[in-house]
Amino acid sequence: MKLLRTVVAFLLLSCGSVTAQRSIGFVSPNTRDGLRLIEAIRGMDSPEELKLLLRARSLGCVLRRQIAATEALGSWSDGAEHSVLIRVSANESAIRYLMSRLGHDANQKAVVYFHPRPHGRAKLYIIRHIRGFNLRQIGNVLNGSGISFSTLVPAKHGTIVYIIDIDNSLRLKVLDAARRFNLPVASQTGNAAFIGDDSSRDKGQAVFAQEIKKYELKHPKLPPPCEVKQ
């Protein structure tokens, strides 16, 4: 799932810190290859997107946590994909379980998550409230700065860019992109990982099933999902 190679954006001349200590994840309902940007944007209002949003929120009852799910667009150097941004206050094993259930339910190859930790190996970057650029232009700026994967979230006060930097190698590139937008960047340290298998949907589903089983063995008698209305 290319979207899931999404890397979350933030940084600039002065790097701030992310205030909310919540785990985040990205998952897409899309199972098509070669999606064009315009198709991905249209997909953000699709029935499959809405279904995944409601499914994510319904799993809040399982984890006994409120789950925020928001429409998003995964953007990379040669394509795009409609997606869902997940935010939840939960430990790392719980976010892995949640993303695995969503990846399994949406028949995905892989999902990605970030969990805040003071001494983690990964970075989360966020550039907030980008105005004067459409989604295509934002993706072009990020690509021009050498950021191959990012996630864009349209918001009331401007688009928000997320970049999960799994191996902590993108700092200078994110700073360059933020400078082009003339905006500051927020960053956070933590753990991040892809769950699944980008090469095979069947293999990815097997990985999800294993993650789900491992968590449920340690947490028997989990409650069922909530009834969530549109």
Is 187 among the domain residues? yes
For residue 226, tell me if it sits in a domain.
no
73 lies in some domain: yes
Rounded to 5°, angle at Cα 96 from 76 and 23: 70
Residue 79 domain flag = yes
> Does any domain span residue 224?
no
Output the pLDDT for position 71.
97
Q: What would the two tokens of residue 76 be?
A: 């990379």
How many independent structural domains does the chain possess? 1
What angle is formed at CA 170 by the lines to CA 155 and CA 95, rounded to 5 degrees? 60
Show the low-confidence residues of the chain (pLDDT under 70): 1-20, 230
Residue 227 forms part of a structural domain: no
Query: Residue 105 domain-assigned?
Result: yes
Any domain includes 230: no
Query: Which pLDDT score, from 0 to 100, does residue 12 have?
Result: 37
E strands present in the chain: 15-17, 23-27, 68-76, 79-88, 110-116, 122-130, 149-153, 159-165, 185-196
Residue 192 corresponds to which amino acid? Answer: A
Residue ranges making up the domain that contains 161: 2-218
pLDDT of residue 228: 75
pTM: 0.89
Show Cβ contacts of residue 9 under 8 Å, excluding neighbours closer than 6 positions. 125, 126, 127, 142, 147, 150, 161, 162, 163, 174, 177, 178, 185
Q: What is the pLDDT of residue 230?
A: 67
Query: Rounded to whole angstroms, how far apart are CA atoms 54 and 230?
Result: 7
